[in-house]
Amino acid sequence: MECEICGKPIEGKPIRTKIDGSVLEVCKECSKYGRVQRDTPLERKFVSRNKKGNPQNKNRSQNKSQSAQRRRREEPMDELAEDFNILVRQARESKGWTREELGAKINERVSVINRIESGKMEPDSKLAKKLEKTLNITLIEKYDDMDLESFKSSASGPNTLGSIVKIKRR
């Protein structure tokens, strides 16, 4: 078995680790990126049944979920700009406004502006749109599904999270 993050072969039993809401089977080295999960009894798998009590056709439900996934992938997604805090601060300063003045213009507390500009808080979509409109900047970027082939590492073997994602060190 291979680690689902770095792709290295796992000797022995993999470690089930919850990382950003997903439970992955990883090596000991990658388990430090999340919270190790205790071994729990296998969850019962429920089979949906029709009115007569017979299991429903699995292929039909799989086809529905696959088409829903395709639709979700085709829709462009919104993402907050990585350097949102710098953009907000520079735009505010270029207009000659204080944090208090900006807060009054968008009906937000000064502490919220402070946390956004320091990068301690990410604005939700509603607040980001208010900041975009008031400061005439772009904080929310639309992006389409990325081509994973362009992110393939030069290493042979199956793709893992580690071959696509850059892990930020704190």
Query: pLDDT below 70 — which residues of the chain?
Result: 39-77, 143-159, 161-170
**What amino acid occupies position 71?**
R
Burial level of 54, CB count in 10 A (0-12/13-18/19+)? exposed
**What's the helix, strand, coil split of the chain in %, to 5?**
40, 15, 45
27/169 Cα distance (integer angstroms) = 19
pLDDT of residue 18: 87
Encode pLDDT of 35-48 as tens digits: 888 755 444 344 44
Phi-psi region of 164 (alpha: psi -120 to 50; beta: other; left: phi over 0): alpha
Angle between helix 110-118 and 84-94 (nearest 10): 120
pTM for this structure? 0.45
| Short-list 21, 129, 148, CA closest to 78 | 129
